[in-house]
């Protein structure tokens, strides 16, 4: 009986020690953010490669000021700006994603209009 009590206490002690160790473990590192350029590729089908559009069927994004891009995307995402597709697209991006894309497009030289 004494042996059984000792084993039970040892198991309990190991369980408590394991739980305490698990609580002090370092949290998993968050994966690095995707670059604004990489995310901007999702815009190419409608807005042209690097936001340079050959025609005026969609808003060109190249050279757009950061603040304008950020405001526009957040308005689409929050439903403040009516849209058929952009509302759905914008909901897939966080504030950090939108900022990164805005900085990328602002740095791209716009295409000359013909």
Q: Domain-by-domain residue ranges, the chain?
A: 36-107
For domain 36-107, the CATH superfamily is Cytochrome c-like domain (1.10.760.10)
Residue 31 pLDDT > 50? no
Kindly state the average pLDDT of the residues 16-23. Answer: 46
Express as a percent the part of the chain with pLDDT over 70: 64
Comparing 1-10, 34-43, 99-108, which segment has the lowest mean pLDDT?
1-10
> 69: closest CA among 36, 35, 38?
36
User: Comparing 97 with 58, which gets the higher pLDDT?
Assistant: 97
Q: What is the pLDDT of residues 47-67, one digit of tens each?
A: 877 676 766 778 889 999 999
Confidence (pLDDT) at 37? 81
Confidence (pLDDT) at 46? 86
């Amino acid at each position: 009986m004494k042996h059984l009590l000792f084993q039970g206490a040892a198991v309990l002690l190991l369980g408590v020690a394991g739980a305490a160790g698990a609580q002090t473990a370092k949290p998993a590192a968050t994966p690095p953010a995707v670059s604004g350029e990489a995310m901007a590729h999702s815009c190419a089908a409608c807005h042209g490669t690097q936001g340079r559009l050959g025609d005026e069927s969609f808003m060109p994004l190249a050279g757009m000021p950061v603040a304008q891009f950020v405001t526009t995307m957040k308005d689409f995402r929050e439903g403040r700006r009516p849209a058929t597709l952009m509302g759905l697209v914008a909901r897939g991006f966080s504030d950090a994603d939108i900022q990164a894309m805005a900085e990328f497009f602002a740095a791209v030289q716009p295409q000359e209009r013909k």
